[in-house]
Amino acid sequence: MMRFKDKVALVTGGATGIGRAICLKLAGEGANVAVADLDLERAKQVAEEIKKLGRQAIAIHVDVTKKDQVQKMVDTVVEKFGKIDYCYNNAGVSTMNPVVDMTEEEWDFNMDVNAKGIFLCCQAEAKVLIKQGFGKIINTASMGGKHGIPFLAHYCASKYAVIGFTKSLALELAKYKINVNCFCPGLVKTEMQDREVVWEAKLRGMTPEEVRDEYIRMTPLGRLETPEDVANIAAFLASEEADFMTGQAINITGGIETN
């Protein structure tokens, strides 16, 4: 199936985890992809994987908290491909700490990347999509944007922000026929989760293996989520099948309930 033949996708945080899975999913269905990430070397590796699939790809270094770098990223994609069909704002971070021990630096780090980064990317992208008269914006939120999680208050706050921002931007861009949605993954097996289970284990007096086993028990479908599980829904949101969806925050949690 080639739902995205000759479409152009920009994916931030595209070098690893969910972002990488989205890049490869879209390329596998015909899209040309700009892989944007703070880690340029790993972004280049993903771009090479995409080229092996017979599609065009470029790797772009970007810090999504820097407006000038975000603008340069968007300009580079338009210069290379002439358009942007799908904007996946996926770059994100996490740290863990009880609120009483949390530093301002931790709070700012999560809010700057996860919330401000979404704002800066969407702002630059929306100007292009409005001018060209088409396109979709798809942001990465989290189930942590719909309910609280111990030790992740700052992260949850940033992801609540993503959902609220996405819903608001969708209303602003609807008159231009531009769709804006986000998805809310659950417990995804990524490098980020690998770090988080170590942090959580230390905070709770458990082993990382015990924490991960608890994650599996928490998930009604009985396994950890994969980046590919998320990429499948992310791709659906870009497809024509989702043309009448906007302002939505789609759960991809394996059955974990959220508010």
Catalytic residue set: 155
CA-to-CA distance for 110 and 37, rounded, in angstroms?
16
> Helices 191-204 and 208-218 sit at what angle, rounded to 10 degrees?
110
What does the DSSP 8-state code read for residue 116? Answer: I
**C-alpha distances out from residue 148 to 158, 188, 223, 227, Å:** 11, 17, 22, 22
Q: Which of 159, 155, 163, 161 is nearest to 200 (CA)?
A: 155
CA-to-CA distance for 188 and 183, rounded, in angstroms?
13
